[in-house]
């Protein structure tokens, strides 16, 4: 039976926290652009404006994907790293 050794979590890097906050601000910026332009321009959802709004929404989803990847890599612990392995037993045999 394999047992997991649960140790203390490694220190989380501050640079990743700062990057995630910056990305969250960028998501709010693009979401604000989408809402403000959609509300202030009466024809915002017709014609070429749809392309711009689609690009802004694409930026929101792209930034959210990067944030999810950073969170998964740096904040979700990988328990398999802490798995205790049995020592490998090598029997000595003479060559014939």
By the 8 A CB rule, do 7 and 78 touch?
no
Work out the number of other CB atoms within 10 angstroms of the CB of residue 52.
14
Q: Which residue has the higher pLDDT, 50 or 74?
A: 74
Q: What share of the chain is helix, strand, coil (3-state, %, to 5)?
A: 60, 0, 40
CA distance linking residue 79 with residue 5, whole number of Å: 8
pTM beyond 0.85: the answer is: no
Model pLDDT for residues 5-58, shown as the tens digit of each residue: 555 556 678 888 899 999 999 999 888 887 887 778 766 666 677 787 788 888
């Amino acid at each position: 039976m394999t047992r997991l050794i649960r140790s203390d979590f490694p220190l989380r890097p501050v640079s990743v926290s700062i990057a995630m906050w910056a990305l969250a601000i960028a998501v709010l910026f693009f979401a604000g652009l989408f809402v403000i332009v959609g509300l202030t321009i009466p024809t915002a959802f017709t014609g070429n404006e749809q392309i711009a709004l689609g690009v802004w929404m694409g930026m929101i989803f792209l930034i959210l994907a990067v944030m999810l990847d950073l969170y998964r890599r740096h904040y979700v612990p990988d328990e398999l790293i802490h798995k205790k392995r049995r020592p490998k037993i090598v029997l000595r045999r003479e060559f014939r």
